[in-house]
Structure 1
Amino acid sequence: MTAVWQQVLAVDARYNAHRAPMCPQFRTLYIRRRSQLLRDNAKTEHDPLLRKQYLQIRARLLAERYGVLCNPDGSSIKSRTASLRGSRVNLESDSEEARNRRRWSSSPQKLIADTKHDEGVTPTSEAEASRAMAGGGTIEENYAFAGVYHIFDQHTDAVTAVRFANDDKSRLACCSTDGALSVCQLVPPPSTVICEGRGHQQGVTGFQWSISNDLIVSCSLDATVRLWHVASATCLRIVEDSAGAQIHSVTFQPVNNNMIVTGNSRGLVQVLNISTGKYAKGGSSKATGKVMALEFEPTGRLLWSGDDKGTIFSYIFDMATGKLTKSKRIVACEGATISCICARSWISREARDPSLLVNISANSLCLFRVMDKSGTLKLRRRMSVRHRSYNIHSSFCPLMSFRQGACVVTGSEDMCVYFFNIEKESKACVNKLQGHSAPVLDVCFNYDESLLASSDASGLVIIWRREEKGSAL
């Protein structure tokens, strides 16, 4: 019943941002201590029914205390049998089907979302409590990142992904096409590389931290996924792709970190039990092209994949069995690569608006609204960034739902990092960071937005610090 305790930890982690808003250090210590206690209790024999009851009660109490909707049945979610429904996103000002089939590059000036009648996506002007949690100041002041905190150059080739540890502003992991994975310590200075994981025979295309930050799962062009123990930098498990294909994306199941999902070059989305090294029965589905991006929504019930044919699929995930049921198919841009999908359920009570942020290799960064439980998407915003050849990634700003205004940050092939206020229909760019000498592939905030990491195609990782005047810490 170890999986039940991991689900308890996932529920605690989901609400961790609401605990002690003025003392982020306490939140980090709290979740670490909870992880330790839950692991210890998992070794003791208990009635399985009592464990499940505890999980349900815990989820219900947290939902009542913090007022955030949560699936009260945290241990499992019933799967729904749904036929695949095709749809095409209307990316132009008119609604003719023939025009929707065009490549974005043919008429980029027309590719805008119809947003005149959409609801607001950020807290209202009355949301004083939300703004107080993040601090005052304008959007421009809050994202005035200008100073360089540190530069890492330990990798000899492109750094394809960077991620801060969960609820931890000091540890950053990077992966590279040189086949290595590294973990860096940023706070307190001096910043150092504390460990490196080497073992992949080809480039590492992606990775993710576990909820408790003690494990990292990585995927590679060598057709394997590897599970790493962070503290010792040792590889705990190697699993080969079932089809022997290159693996381009990987993600942990957010509720049960025993399960991961991979996407390979043959278009297969596959569920793998990383603890046993076995693929789940019924946990495989076929996309239209190479699966370049994977993302769960926070409760783990919905999964999205993006491929190199411009298609986004949504899947219903059965937590009890790991079975995937294909739900929706959205053609975002025919023939273009979906290089990144980032999901966010906005935690502000004034703006509960689940969304997807999607990078598409048609010079576009798109914001979609999740319309229903089956993963139907509606285009909300399109922002222009230089993106044609590389796998560019973006991220939501962690504190955006506490501000009047909402920002996202993205890399670009013009060697810049861009901040966009998605509330503005014109002149949405609020900041641009210049310092890289190669296309910027990935960007990532730490949890309190005091530091921003960006990586590029030359192997450089720049850590940017926020200007003190605009600090919202």
Structure 2
Amino acid sequence: MAALWKQQVFALDSRYNAHRAPNHPNFRTLYIRRRNQLLREYNGSEDPTVRKHYLRLRGQLLQQRYGVPADQISQKSRSTSARSSIRVSESPDIFKLQASNYQTLGQGEVVPTKQAEASRAIVGGNTIAENYAFVGVHHIFDQHTQAVTMIKFGNNDRSRLCCASLDGLVSVCDVAGAPPKVLFILNGHEKGVTGCDWSISNDLLVSSSFDGTIRLWEVGQQTGEPRCLRIVRDQAGAEVLSCLFHPVNNNFVIAGNSSGMVAVLNISTGIYPRGGSSKVGGKILALTFDSSGRLLWCGNDKGTIVSFFFELGSGRLSKCRRISVSEGSAITCLSSRAWISREARDPSLLVNCAANAIYLFRVRDKEGSLVLRRKFIIHHQKQLVRSTFCPIMSFRQGACVVTGSEDSCVYFLDIEREGRPATVNKLQGHASPVLGVSFNYDESLLATSDCHGLVIVWKREKR
């Protein structure tokens, strides 16, 4: 029922999309993509009455906003251009997608098929290389004096970028301003900062450090000067090497330390809940959740990935699977996706490994077991090189990931391309190994960082 309801909401938005910003087709494309992405990530009320009421209310609001009756749109949908070619039923309350356009997977996931007319309309005639033609430098930031090990754009944010550096500072930049600028610098860690993450609403930041602490910062735009709300020391007094907000409940932060311990922290109280810690071994360098927040993976410097089941209410961790990727080679980055394209519809895990490789795994079951799909060769042996999935993947042929590299280049890899070179773009602007990579939510800007503390923001080529 959840999958059907999400299809109905998406169909409703698609019906009115032709009337939204008629002089700006690119905005219409972005809007419908974002609506689809938000629907896939929605885990709200399961009450069918509430969902039906939402459909009716949204339909009424869209009709009032654009002044077009629903039945008129239904008639037009049979003959208008492919931009609004998702066909719907004539029922005023329940809108059903044409079966040939979409297929429904488990847990409410909806994936467009190769026959989807709406997908072809949104993608247009661009190749995947054209979609990722980042060639121009938008801005360069140099406020850090040592390596910027991690960078992250805010959630659903086009402009705010967080940078964590081994100089002990965390900076937040406005990359879309005129001109781009450093908004503020968070000074408090006594040693290098190893990780950072945004809360869902982007009003809080969490950071981890070699000084053995996790810090919570208030950085909301309406709060004035940023301030440190809480400092929590590692339970074992070890260096904290990674940190991550829980994607559903931001009261929980997960941290990995140099003693091989993964720990859940209630950041609101500063307490480590009972049952929320587990010994993995090695040094925990990378953490990621699935979209539901129930499955956690961690990677260490021994080449091992361990999956955990996370109890949403209590914060308890239950160890599930241990996967050896490359013995003795550090796992420096983990990224997960529920699905990445209509050709790759299974949950996936992207892994950077210091064995000159980046791996793409399929998640096989609810316990986080992994099956190797692809392996790509990059220059990576010593540094904390990271990668990321491209954020918009719903409607295009193929799928891309972006990764840093120790040869000072940034690589765009088509993970669906078989039998040909996977690299679709290569950026050369850094003078030292590239560590961090991050897209803003609409893929208009890409930020990359290196071992010298330089952050480059790249812009997409306009076509």
Shorter-chain TM-score tier: 0.7 to 0.9
Matched, 1:140 2:134: no
For 1:387 and 1:405, the matched residues in 2 are separated by 25
For the aligned residue pairs, the C-alpha RMSD in angstroms reads 3.0
**2:174 is matched with which residue: 169, 185, 201?**
185
1:57 and 2:47 correspond: yes
| 1:327-378, Cα deviation, whole Å (9 max, x unpaired) | 0010000000000000011276675321000000000000000011110100
For residues 136 and 51 of structure 2, what CA distance do their matches in structure 1 show? 43
How far apart in 1 are the matches of 2:132 and 2:342? Answer: 23
- Does residue 165 of structure 1 match 2:171? no
Which of residues 316, 322, 332 is equivalent to 2:325?
332
Instruction: Determine the C-alpha separation between the residues in 2 that align with 1:266 and 1:222.
Output: 14
Partner amino acid for 1:356? L
The 5-angstrom pairing of residues 168-317 of structure 1 reads 168-231=157-220, 232-317=225-310
For the structure 1 residues 347 and 139, does the alpha-carbon distance in structure 2 shift closer, same or farther, using more than 3 Å as the test? closer
Q: Cα offset for 1:69? A: 6.8
Corresponding residue of 2:389: 396
1:22, CA displacement in angstroms? 2.1
2:454 aligned residue: 460
Would the aligned equivalents of 1:28 and 1:168 in 2 still touch at CA under 8 Å?
A: no
Higher mean alpha-carbon deviation, 417-426 vs 299-308, is at 417-426
1:62-77, aligned counterparts within 5 Å?
A: none
CA contact (8 A) 1:28 1:167 kept: no
State how far apart, in whole Å, the 1-side matches of 2:389 and 2:339 are: 10
CA separation of 1:249/1:285 partners in 2, compared to 1, >3 Å: closer, same or farther?
A: same
Q: Is the 8 A contact 2:135 2:460 kept in 1?
A: yes
Q: TM-score, normalising length from structure 1?
A: 0.76
- Whole-angstrom CA distance in 1 between matches of 2:124 and 2:438: 21
2:359 equivalent among 341, 361, 366: 366
Conserved 8 A contact 1:217-1:250: yes
Could you tell me which of 354, 377, 383 is aligned with 2:376? 383
The alpha-carbon distance between structure 1 residues 324 and 419, as it changes in their structure 2 partners (threshold 3 A), is: same
SS at match of 2:244: strand
Q: Specify whether residues 239 and 69 from structure 1 end up closer, same or farther in structure 2 by C-alpha distance, changes over 3 A only.
A: farther
2: distance between equivalents of 1:417 and 1:251? 24
Q: How many residues align?
A: 385
How far apart in 2 are the matches of 1:451 and 1:134?
A: 19
The one-letter code sitting in structure 1 at the alignment partner of 2:271 is K
Letter in 1 for 2:350: L
Is the alpha carbon distance of 1:183 and 1:135 closer, same or farther for their aligned partners in structure 2, counting shifts above 3 Å? farther
Q: Is the 8 A contact 1:123 1:350 kept in 2?
A: no
Q: What is the correspondence of 1:18-167 to structure 2 with a 5 Å cutoff?
A: 22=28, 55-57=45-47, 124-167=113-156
Q: Partner residue of 2:430?
A: 436
Residue 342 of structure 1 aligns to which amino acid in structure 2?
S
Q: CA deviation at 1:125?
A: 3.3
TM-aligned CA distance change 1:256 to 1:148, over 3 Å: same
Superposed CA offset, 1:36-94 (max 9, x none) = xxxxxxxxxxxxxxxx9x8443896689989977869xxxxxxxxxxxxxxxxxxxxxx
- Would the alpha carbon gap of residues 448 and 136 (structure 1) be closer, same or farther in structure 2, given more than 3 Å must change? farther
- Conserved in 2, the CA contact under 8 Å of 1:123 and 1:351? no
Larger Rg: 2
What amino acid is aligned across from residue 321 of structure 2 in structure 1?
Answer: K
In structure 2, what is the equivalent of residue 40 of structure 1? none
Fraction of identical pairs, as percent = 56
Q: Which residue of 1 aligns with 2:60?
A: none
Q: Which deviations, in whole Å up to 9, do the C-alpha atoms of 1:386-409 show, x marking residues without a partner? A: 000101000001113321011000
Secondary structure of residue in 2 paired with 1:412: coil
Q: Aligned residue for 1:448? A: 442
Q: Give the residue type in structure 1 aligned to 2:462.
A: E
In the alignment, the residues of structure 2 paired with residue 189 and residue 28 of structure 1 have an alpha-carbon distance, to the nearest angstrom, of 25
Residues 280 and 306 in structure 2, CA contact (< 8 A), matched pair in contact too: yes
Higher relative contact order (CA 8 A, sep 6+): 1
Shift of 1:435: 0.4
What is the TM-score of this pair, normalised by structure 2? 0.77
Instruction: Check whether the contact 2:340–2:393 (CA below 8 A) recurs between aligned residues.
Output: no
Supply the distance in 2 between the matched residues of 1:387 and 1:406 (Cα, whole angstroms): 22
List gaps (5 residues or longer) in structure 1. Answer: 1-11, 32-51, 73-121
